[in-house]
Amino acid sequence: MTAEPLAILGGTFDPVHFAHLRCADEVREKLGLETAFLLPGGNPPHRMRPQASNRQRLEMLQLAILDFPHLQIDRRELDREGPSYMIDTLQDLRKEFPGRPVVLVIGQDAANHLHSWHRWQALFDLAHIVVMTRPGVMTEYQPELAKQFLQRECTDVAAISQTEAGHVLALEVTAIDICATTIQSMLRLGRSPRTMLPAAVLDYIFDQGLYLKKE
């Protein structure tokens, strides 16, 4: 393999905050990549519909990455109609970048529930999976998922560049205790989450009147 692995980190980013940005950039650094992509979900089937619109979440991401030059945005799920299934996104990427290693980056919480994802067994045929671990978050895998992870376990970062898909790699990332629901709650209560997200994103939230009342 000669092309740099293409790494994507999905989420609703409702709103994007420093934990999203730092984790994505830290994984990028540990994998030795020039770029990593943030993938905002359009209509995530496993979560409540985002409060901010697709346009607003995209614009917040565009503001957020101004200070993170090695992060880019992949907007394909925002442009796709219907539920945002990761299997569809990975199939798109595999067609668009034949022969290039693809890396799906997920948190430990998401990894624990990977067996509930649509056609989850097929994900391994399309991408490597990097699980972001952090102290205090335990692995709680369903038996079949645990078997798949054990069979595909990889400890060599370099192996990610040598094949298109199929490895599972655990990477410990810096623990940053920030979540979007906490930011939303603080805003509804009139409290400022200024230390939790880029100033430009917070200014945009106020300008758009986002999260300021309970839906």
Q: What is the CA radius of gyration of the chain?
A: 17
**Domain range summary for the chain, segments of one domain joined by +:** 6-208
CA distance 214 to 46: 21
How many residues does the structure list for the chain?
215
CATH code of domain 6-208 = 3.40.50.620
Give the H/E segment covering residue 64.
Answer: helix 54-64
152 pLDDT band, cuts 50/70/90, is very high
Distances (CA, A) of 190 to 51, 152, 182, 184, 194: 17, 47, 12, 10, 12
214 pLDDT band, cuts 50/70/90, is low
Structure tokens at 44: 């995530």
pLDDT at site 45: 74
- Give mean pLDDT, residues 92-106: 96
- Give mean pLDDT, residues 52-67: 97
| Dihedral, CA of residue 197, residue 200, residue 204 and residue 205, to nearest 10 | 20
Q: What is the pLDDT of residues 102-127, one digit of tens each?
A: 999 999 999 999 999 999 999 999 99
Percent of the chain having pLDDT more than 90?
87
Q: Is 61's pLDDT higher than 90?
A: yes
Burial group, residue 51, by CB count within 10 angstroms (0-12, 13-18, 19+):
middle
The pLDDT mean for the chain works out to 94
Q: Is 186's pLDDT higher than 90?
A: yes
